[in-house]
């Protein structure tokens, strides 16, 4: 549960964003606020401090708190989706190697890959849990069960139950991260040569898996606020034999949107009627800034053919490589595929994650880190809006830590990424997010870094590269 001051701050943010308070307006005084709401003065002060931290208000000496002039956020233009999409193969993607090399370079400012900086992870807690897990000596001397350590599967099932889906622990397959969960899910419902539908733009790791499995792909236009176009998907499903559709409905990578429950249900209906398996990637679902977690597809339709994938890589530690996939209908196929891929995921890491979950420390960490992500995203959005030229547009997510930027038409984001790398900054060029290298003038930025002078330098340098684009980036 959030503290009262956080709820109060959130309420003011909502009202400021709705225009109830305009820039320059004075907010109620501390004493008035605490008397009217029956709160302590400390709570009222903490709420205002939080608003100040996030750039919504400013304190004026002896006058109180005033709404600040926030830069106008130019939102992304909306895509048109009337045309019939056509199947294709995944090509390009060479830039991924340069980006992954940058991740291990300590001098590089990493805005490209979606890997949060160390301060966003509960490293001490994970370390202690790992040490404890190595004491299970007997487990170290054998293979773990292919489906995963029962201790962890029970903890995952409990978490999913809290989020509205009564998962059977026996149906959960623990995987080496989310990447393996997606790969097993795809292999369980397709054969090489089959056609799968993806959001466009979509997470490039997914495109890599599709390519490595010899699948064909069809890109469905995806709205930066509403999610996958149901009209375009329906049109595609009427023309092509689509075996599976993969979506990231909550705090989408890269666009940041969350689909409404109504649209999630319509999507499930559309695909279920045509017997198309749904692969749901809920990697960022726990990272919303609001109190209530958005519903997963599987919690809205527990009896539909949904293969639900998730990972602890963004919320606990990417290095543990712990994810999972659960499905009512494909459990046996998934278990066999896991066994034939790598027998089982290491028990030490599984037991460590299980004990972090059981201790309640994970939930406490999530409560803290969600707010930290929100502050980091807000800060980056404000900075970008101040520095980027007017033709740039930006998504503003309500969870996670990714931003999707549309740049002026003449910018080639592959060239921009190369030019930025030379200055010690990594970004993810838009071409990576499409099997046909669409999104030439888009980039994805990760905000999950502690803000310091290096971040100021990185954003200023990027903005200069875009603003004064020469032949190296255009």
Ligand X SMILES: Cc1ncc(COP(=O)(O)O)c(C=O)c1O
Encoded one letter per residue, x for contact with ligand X by CB under 6 A and - for no contact, window 114-133 reads x-------------------
The answer to whether residue 308 forms part of the interface with ligand X (CB under 6 A) is no
Residues of this chain, 72-111, that bind ligand X according to CB under 6 A: none
Q: Name the token pair of 140.
A: 């170290």
Residue 380's contacts (CB-CB under 8 Å, 6 or more residues apart) are 403, 445, 447, 459
Shortest Cβ 181–ligand X spacing (Å): 8
The answer to whether residue 311 forms part of the interface with ligand X (CB under 6 A) is yes
Asked if 297 contacts 267 with a C-beta cutoff of 8 angstroms, the reply is yes
The answer to whether residue 283 forms part of the interface with ligand X (CB under 6 A) is yes
Bridge-based pairing of strands 64-67 and 57-60 is antiparallel
Encoded one letter per residue, x for contact with ligand X by CB under 6 A and - for no contact, window 242-271 reads ------x----x------------------
The answer to whether residue 281 forms part of the interface with ligand X (CB under 6 A) is yes
The answer to whether residue 227 forms part of the interface with ligand X (CB under 6 A) is no
Q: Phi first, then psi: what are they for 111, rounded to 5°?
A: -110, 0
Residue 377's contacts (CB-CB under 8 Å, 6 or more residues apart) are 396, 397, 400, 401, 403, 447
Distance CA 278, CA 239 (A): 18
Q: Name the token pair of 332.
A: 């046996």
Query: With contacts defined by CB under 6 A, how many residues of the chain interact with ligand X?
Result: 14
The answer to whether residue 203 forms part of the interface with ligand X (CB under 6 A) is yes
Distance CA 333, CA 52 (A): 52
**Closer to ligand X by Cβ: residue 21 or 120:** 120
Distance CA 368, CA 387 (A): 29
Encoded one letter per residue, x for contact with ligand X by CB under 6 A and - for no contact, window 374-413 reads ----------------------------------------
**Closer to ligand X by Cβ: residue 296 or 311:** 311
Asked if 199 contacts 247 with a C-beta cutoff of 8 angstroms, the reply is yes
Euclidean distance between the first and the last CA atom of the chain, given in angstroms as a whole number: 48
Shortest Cβ 190–ligand X spacing (Å): 18
Residues of this chain, 140-179, that bind ligand X according to CB under 6 A: 177-179
Instruction: For residue 281, count other CB atoms closer than 10 A to its CB.
Output: 29
Shortest Cβ 349–ligand X spacing (Å): 12
Among 372, 225, 355, CA closest to 287: 372
Distance CA 297, CA 70 (A): 35
**Closer to ligand X by Cβ: residue 112 or 221:** 112
The answer to whether residue 430 forms part of the interface with ligand X (CB under 6 A) is no
The answer to whether residue 350 forms part of the interface with ligand X (CB under 6 A) is no
Shortest Cβ 315–ligand X spacing (Å): 10
Q: Which residues bind ligand X (CB under 6 A)?
A: 114, 177-179, 203, 205, 248, 253, 281, 283, 311, 313, 318, 323
């Amino acid at each position: 549960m959030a503290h009262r001051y956080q709820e109060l701050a959130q309420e003011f943010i909502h009202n400021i964003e709705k225009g109830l308070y305009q820039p320059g307006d004075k907010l109620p005084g501390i004493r008035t606020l605490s008397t009217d709401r029956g709160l302590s003065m400390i709570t009222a002060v903490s709420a205002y401090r939080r608003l100040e931290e996030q750039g919504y208000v400013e304190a004026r000496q002896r006058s109180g708190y005033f709404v600040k002039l926030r830069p106008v956020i130019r939102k992304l233009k909306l895509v048109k989706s009337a045309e019939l999409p056509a199947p294709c193969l995944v090509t390009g993607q060479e830039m991924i190697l340069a980006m992954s090399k940058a991740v291990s370079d300590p001098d590089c400012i990493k805005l490209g890959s979606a890997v949060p900086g160390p301060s966003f992870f509960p490293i001490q807690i994970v370390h202690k849990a790992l040490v404890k897990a190595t004491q299970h000596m007997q487990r170290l001397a054998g293979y773990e069960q292919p489906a995963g350590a029962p201790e962890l599967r029970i903890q995952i099932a409990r978490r999913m139950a809290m989020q509205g889906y009564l998962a059977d622990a026996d149906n959960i397959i623990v995987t080496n991260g989310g990447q393996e969960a997606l790969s097993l899910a795809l292999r369980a419902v397709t054969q090489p040569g089959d056609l799968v539908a993806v959001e466009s733009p979509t997470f490039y790791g997914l495109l890599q898996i599709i390519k490595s499995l010899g699948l064909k792909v069809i890109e469905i236009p995806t709205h930066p606020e509403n999610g996958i176009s149901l009209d375009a998907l329906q049109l595609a499903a009427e023309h092509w034999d689509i075996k599976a559709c993969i979506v990231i409905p909550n705090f989408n990578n890269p666009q940041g949107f969350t689909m409404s429950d109504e649209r999630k249900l319509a999507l499930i209906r559309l695909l279920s009627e045509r017997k198309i398996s749904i692969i749901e990637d809920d990697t960022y679902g726990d990272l919303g800034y609001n109190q209530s977690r958005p519903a997963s597809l599987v919690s809205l339709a527990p009896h539909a053919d949904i293969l639900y994938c998730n990972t602890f890589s963004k919320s606990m530690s990417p290095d543990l490589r712990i994810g999972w996939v659960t499905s009512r209908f494909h459990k046996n196929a998934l278990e066999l595929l896991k066994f034939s891929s790598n027998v089982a995921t290491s028990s030490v890491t599984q037991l460590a994650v299980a004990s972090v979950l059981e201790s309640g420390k994970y939930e406490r960490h999530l409560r803290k880190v969600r707010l930290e992500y929100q502050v980091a995203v807000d800060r980056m959005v404000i900075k970008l809006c101040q520095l980027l030229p007017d033709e740039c547009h930006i998504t503003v997510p309500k969870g996670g830590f990714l931003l999707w930027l549309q740049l002026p038409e003449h910018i080639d984001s592959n060239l921009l990424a190369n030019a930025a790398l030379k200055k010690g900054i990594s970004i993810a060029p838009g071409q990576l997010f499409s099997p046909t290298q669409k999104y030439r003038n888009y980039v994805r930025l990760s905000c999950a870094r502690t803000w310091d002078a290096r971040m100021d330098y990185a954003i200023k340098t990027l903005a200069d590269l875009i603003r004064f684009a020469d032949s190296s980036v255009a």
